[in-house]
Amino acid sequence: MTALVHTRNDLAAGLAGAPGRVAVVMTMGALHEGHRQLMREARAQADFVVVTVFVNPLQFGPNEDFDKYPRTLAADVEACTAEDVDLVFAPDRDEMYPGGTPSVTLNAGPMGEILEGASRPGHFSGMLTVVAKLLLLTGADLAFFGEKDFQQLSLIKRMVRDLEIRTEIVGVPTVREADGLALSSRNRFLSAEQRQAALALSHALREGALQNDPQRVLEAATKILGDEPGVHVDYLALTDPLLGPAPAGGPARLLVAAKVGATRLIDNVPVHLGEAG
């Protein structure tokens, strides 16, 4: 039976009876199969699974979609129940930030300034601040995050290392629709026509990943994105697996962010580059 709690006291009470290893899956709600995959991984690896549902105002810029972000708590609790989650923690803003906007927040460092961080100033500071708070409030042994938000996952791994946080961070591969579109809560904002255009993102990444030379990877992906007038690219980047400069050979990551209508989508894939020379 999945319990729903809204306060830190009720969360602590629910956790007090938790047997063995505790896992947390943090979400902003509007749960889909991607989130459910994180829950299944958590269920498989831990004895007690907590899902948090909180649309964190700190990680949204003034012109972003905080107000219109979908809020579907009743359906979210049903999804958690179907995945045998033990506890859902859905605090409101005052519960999460009792003193109002916190004056002490986390600095995401140089990795927080590039890609998503360049387009969304302050986003990663707000994200890391709430993730750290939720790790402390849940005391989780394990925390599961999707590779769809690859830079977020990388920064959270970096944060637990740099701040000596003992939670093990587990990355989960991106869940996609049959036609390749990465599942995202924001997909619901797409019209049928925009959804069709949005396929260019995963298509471009897939084609790029078939190439083994950095320049060809970017050319192949750029061509597909350029052929779709409904997609406005924010960035397309080839990096090393830690988001540093692309290597000449070996593992790399290809990342894209684009607007389709008013909806901003992100996606990424692993790439294996052939050895140089």
Ligand X SMILES: Nc1ncnc2c1ncn2[C@@H]1O[C@H](COP(=O)(O)OP(=O)(O)OP(=O)(O)O)[C@@H](O)[C@H]1O
Ligand Y SMILES: CC(C)(CO)[C@@H](O)C(=O)[O-]
- Closest distance of CB 128 from ligand Y, Å: 9
Rule CB under 6 A: say whether 91 interacts with ligand X. no
Per CB under 6 A, the segment of 1-9, 26-34, 208-216, 254-262 that binds ligand Y is: 26-34
Is 203 among the annotated ligand-binding positions? no
Is 30 labelled as part of a ligand binding site?
Answer: yes
Answer yes or no: are the C-beta atoms of 257 and 151 closer than 8 Å.
Answer: no
Distances 25 to 29, 140, 148 between C-alpha atoms, Å: 11, 10, 14
| Total of chain residues touching ligand BAL, rule CB under 6 A | 3
Question: Active-site residues: which are they?
Answer: 35
Is 14 a residue that touches ligand X (CB under 6 A)?
no
Answer yes or no whether residue 129 interacts with ligand Y by CB under 6 A: no
Judge residue 272's burial from the number of C-beta atoms within 10 Å of its C-beta, 0-12 exposed, 13-18 middle, 19 or more buried.
Answer: exposed
Is 149 annotated to bind a ligand? Reply is yes
132 binds ligand Y (CB under 6 A): no
Interface with ligand BAL includes 86 (CB under 6 A)? no
Q: Distance from CA of residue 82 to its chain's centroid? A: 22
Instruction: Report how far apart, in Å, the C-alpha atoms of 156 and of each of 33, 82, 129, 135 are.
Output: 22, 28, 10, 11
Using the contact rule CB under 6 A, the part of the chain among 14-22, 171-179, 202-210, 246-254 near ligand X is: 171-179
Task: State the binding string over 197-236 for ligand BAL (x if CB under 6 A, else -).
Answer: ----------------------------------------
Q: How far is the CB of 47 from ligand Y (least distance, A)?
A: 22
Contact of 118 with 124, CB cutoff 8 Å: no
Q: In 3D, which of 134, 129, 145 has the Cα closest to residue 37?
A: 145
Rounded to whole angstroms, the Cα distance separating 129 from 150 reads: 17
Residue 26 binding ligand Y, by CB under 6 A = yes
Q: Identify the residue among 149, 182, 187, 268 touching ligand BAL (CB under 6 A).
A: 149
Q: Which is nearer to ligand X, 52 or 211 (CB)?
A: 52
Residue 171 labelled as part of a binding site: no
Residue of 111, 114, 165, 183 that binds ligand X (CB under 6 A) = 183
Output DSSP code: residue 245. Answer: B
Rg of the chain's alpha carbons, rounded to an integer? 19
| Residue 41 in contact with ligand BAL, rule: CB under 6 A | no
83 binds ligand BAL (CB under 6 A): no
Start-end of H helices in the chain: 8-16, 33-45, 73-82, 93-96, 116-119, 123-138, 150-162, 192-210, 214-226
CA atoms of 100 and 52, how far apart (whole Å)? 20
Residue 28 is a binding residue for ligand X (CB under 6 A): yes
Residue 211 in 3-state DSSP?
Answer: coil
What tokens were used for 187?
A: 């997909």
Query: What's the farthest any 2 CA atoms get from each other in the chain?
Result: 60
- List, as residue ranges, the binding site for ATP: 28-35, 146-149, 175, 183-186
- List, as residue ranges, the binding site: 28-35, 59, 146-149, 152, 175, 183-186
Q: What residues line the site for ligand BAL (CB under 6 A)?
A: 59, 149, 152
